[in-house]
Structure 1
Amino acid sequence: MTADGEATDREALVGGMVNAGAVFRTGARVERPAPPNALALHGHLHALKEHGFDAAPTPVALSADGREQLTFIPGNVALPPFPQWVMTDTALASVGSLLRRLHETSAAVGVDTRVKWPDDLADPEGGTMLCHNDVCPENVVFRDGHAAALIDFDLAAPGRPLWDLAMAARYWIPMVDPVSAAAFHPSGLVAPDRLRILADSYGLSSRERVELPGAVEQATEVCRGFVARRVADGDPVYVRALEERGGWERWDRIQNWLGAQRDTFTAALLS
């Protein structure tokens, strides 16, 4: 009940690893732990909306106890193991188009370089626009089989558009070896063909198509370093996930597979 005696339905939202069990929905609002740079991130989200990008949550409030409120975006969010509907070619193409819209708007908004943006998954080369850096299925809201919005901008940081696309490709193609893919993705996904679909729907240039496979390899190395730091710090969520998903042998297998498939991916992107 609220202070006025009105009934409230507080629903725990599942998904994700960092804030698992700490995200709740009440009506049209979502309450969750605020990132350290929440003020700057909220300003960026408001600027995206002012520039016409309506496919992200709108910040509502920031509390003194480290919680934030944002608008709830209705739709479907897929959780692993991922169902077939979120891995269709149509769904994949819509992710590429949505990411392109985000990048065009982010480029127009620019980025405040005075802010200490998180470097967990940030582009090592930096950039003049804010990348999402975590466009995984758990952070994309779908409606009628099409990507409608992006959520969870906590890891956003300056970078190149190509970097953000490479990060997204890791999850959506997926850019992992067949054994690793089988653990969370439907069977029958042909990685080179799907990478081409993502590049086409995004509108990737010829030069960037040549660079994309290498960017995916670089992004995979950064993601591995991110996990390694969390494990070294004793984070129980990442320690358990590493053990359950095959340990460092899995990461070795993925990286070796990416290197072996580089020419195949490049040929598919340029065909």
Structure 2
Amino acid sequence: MAEQQLNGGIANAGQVVRVGRHVLRPSGPQSGSVHALLRAVRDAGFEGAPVPVGIDEDGRERLVFIEGDVPVAPYPEWSQSDTALASVARLLRGLHDAARGFHSQGLSWNDSLADPAGGTLVCHNDVELSNVVFREGVAVALLDFDFAAPGRRVYDLAQLGRLCVPIEDDFDQDRIGWLPADRPARLRLVADAYGLDRDGRVELLAAMNDALARIEAAARRSIAAGDPETVATMNRTGGIEKYDRRRRWWSAHYEHFAAALL
């Protein structure tokens, strides 16, 4: 069958294809661990993740294709709705609940975006809109588990908030096509849809700081190492200065988020 290129992604942009019922994408050192996680959550009743088939002889991983809509930047208006956001948070809660019984000991993970506080629950760590499959505006599946690693639920939720609320300076928010919105209210919606209690919301605020620092540190490490992919991504997405802008914006608006959550 002919290979049909699928849009989206950053690290694997242009390298993910559909062939009939399957998706082929580059595998990595942690693909075996990710496939074990995907099988475990499916066995636990979670249907919102790809079904792994295996690793082909050419080194690409093969997964069952999931029908639906995957938004890519500039994100369509429907994907920025509160309905869409709440459904993503509920889907992440479903993943976390299903992963509770999965034992990650002895497996290897990509810890680039992993929770700096550690943890035992294997989390997604990169839930952004182009890693979500929607049907009729409601999230039904999560994609791209390349950054999955053990951590805390609340940290994974903070990464979702960073990417989907989003937590971003106005300049960068406009640049990638996000519409004006009440961002503190959207973070509260994430907490509500996920089912966080008051203690969890306090933890979420702290975890937001961890999530923002983690992605910035990872980007700066890659740039310092001369990684051409990271440099190219930075050039496309506002430069390394966007992290300074984001940090200043979060600090300036922190009290508004705290008031909305608590």
Q: Judge same fold: TM > 0.5, yes or no.
A: yes
Q: Provide, for residues 110-136 of structure 1, a one-character-per-residue CA deviation record: whole Å limited to 9, x for no partner.
A: 232222211100001111110000100
> Cα offset for 1:256?
1.5
Return the match for 1:27 from 14, 20, 28: 20
Structure 1 residue ranges (4+ consecutive) displaced by more than 6 angstroms after TM superposition:
none
Return the match for 1:127 from 119, 133, 136: 119
C-alpha distance in 2 between matches for 1:216 and 1:87 = 20
C-alpha distance in 2 between matches for 1:61 and 1:186 = 36
* Contact 2:40/2:102 (<8 A) preserved: no
C-alpha distance in 2 between matches for 1:74 and 1:246 = 32
C-alpha distance in 1 between matches for 2:249 and 2:206 = 13
> Cα offset for 1:214?
2.3
C-alpha distance in 2 between matches for 1:83 and 1:59 = 29
Structure 1: 5+ residue runs without aligned partners? 1-7
SS at match of 2:218: helix
Q: Give % identity.
A: 44
C-alpha distance in 1 between matches for 2:173 and 2:109 = 31
Q: Which amino acid aligns with 1:158?
A: P
What RMSD in Å do the two structures reach over aligned CA positions?
Answer: 1.3
> Cα offset for 1:241?
2.4
Q: TM-score, normalised by structure 2?
A: 0.96
> Cα offset for 1:249?
2.2
Return the match for 1:197 from 176, 186, 189: 189
SS at match of 1:247: coil
Q: Which amino acid aligns with 2:25?
A: R
* Contact 2:169/2:245 (<8 A) preserved: yes
Q: Provide, for residues 192-240 of structure 1, a one-character-per-residue CA deviation record: whole Å limited to 9, x for no partner.
A: 1111111100101101211222211211111011112222333333212
Larger radius of gyration: 1
Give the corresponding residue for 1:51.
Answer: 44
> Cα offset for 1:74?
0.7
C-alpha distance in 2 between matches for 1:97 and 1:40 = 24
C-alpha distance in 2 between matches for 1:243 and 1:144 = 34
Count of residue pairs brought into register by the alignment: 262
Return the match for 1:223 from 215, 218, 233: 215
Structure 2: 5+ residue runs without aligned partners? none
Give the corresponding residue for 1:39.
Answer: 32
Matched, 1:81 2:74: yes
C-alpha distance in 2 between matches for 1:15 and 1:183 = 17
Matched, 1:114 2:106: yes
* Contact 1:111/1:158 (<8 A) preserved: no
* Contact 2:165/2:183 (<8 A) preserved: yes
C-alpha distance in 1 between matches for 2:238 and 2:174 = 13
Q: Provide, for residues 58-114 of structure 1, a one-character-per-residue CA deviation record: whole Å limited to 9, x for no partner.
A: 11121344211000001001111111110001001101110111111111x223222
C-alpha distance in 1 between matches for 2:213 and 2:14 = 28
